[in-house]
C-alpha cells in the first residue's frame, strides 16, 4: 500500500510541473505575438505592414529599434539624429496637409525602391515616422 501512494505522489508533482511549463510557453508565445503586431510606439498597423513588406522584407521587426527611431524622428531633424550608419531616413513633402500615414501609403513605391539600400546583412529593423511642418519623415534603424 505504501508503494502505491508514493507513485501517485510522484505523478502529481510531475503533472503540476508540466502545467507551469505550458503556462510559461503560452506567456512567451503571446508576448512574441503581441510584439510582432504592435510595439506601442504609435506605428499604425497598415504602415507597419507596408514597411514589413518593403524595408523589413526578410528581417525581424524590432520594437526597441522602433522606439529608438520614434524618439529621434519626433525631433524633426534634417539628418538622422547622429545615429550610426545603420539608418535609412526618407523625407516626403506634405503640401496637402495629409497625415503622415497617408503620405507613407501614397509613397509605397518609393519606399520599396529605397529598401534596396538597406544592408542585406541586416537581420532586424524598426521604423517610425513624424509630421514635421510641411514634410513627413520616416526613419528606420536596422541591425
Specify whether domain 45-142 bears CATH 3.40.190.290: no
All 3 cell numbers of residue 67?
522606439
The pLDDT of residue 22 is 55
User: What residues does 61 pair with on adjacent strands?
Assistant: 125
Task: Enumerate residue ranges in the chain where pLDDT < 70.
Answer: 1-37
Distance of CA 59 to the CA centre of its chain: 10
The pLDDT of residue 18 is 47
The pLDDT of residue 38 is 76
Whole-prediction pTM: 0.70
Per domain, the residue ranges of the chain are: 1-37, 45-142
| Strands of the 60-61 sheet, one edge to the other | 60-61, 124-132, 135-142, 87-93
Amino acid at each position: 500500500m505504501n508503494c502505491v501512494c508514493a507513485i501517485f505522489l510522484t505523478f502529481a508533482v510531475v503533472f503540476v510541473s508540466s502545467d507551469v511549463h505550458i503556462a510559461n510557453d503560452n506567456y512567451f508565445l503571446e508576448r512574441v505575438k503581441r510584439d510582432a503586431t504592435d510595439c506601442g510606439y504609435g506605428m499604425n498597423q497598415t504602415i507597419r505592414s507596408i514597411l514589413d513588406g518593403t524595408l523589413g522584407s526578410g528581417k525581424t521587426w524590432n520594437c526597441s529599434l522602433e522606439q529608438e527611431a520614434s524618439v529621434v524622428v519626433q525631433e524633426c531633424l534634417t539628418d538622422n539624429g547622429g545615429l550610426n550608419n545603420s539608418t535609412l531616413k526618407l523625407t516626403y513633402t506634405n503640401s496637402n496637409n495629409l497625415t503622415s500615414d497617408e503620405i507613407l501609403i501614397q509613397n509605397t513605391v518609393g519606399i520599396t525602391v529605397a529598401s534596396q539600400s538597406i544592408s542585406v546583412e541586416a537581420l532586424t529593423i524598426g521604423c517610425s515616422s513624424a509630421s514635421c511642418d510641411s514634410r513627413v519623415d520616416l526613419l528606420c534603424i536596422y541591425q
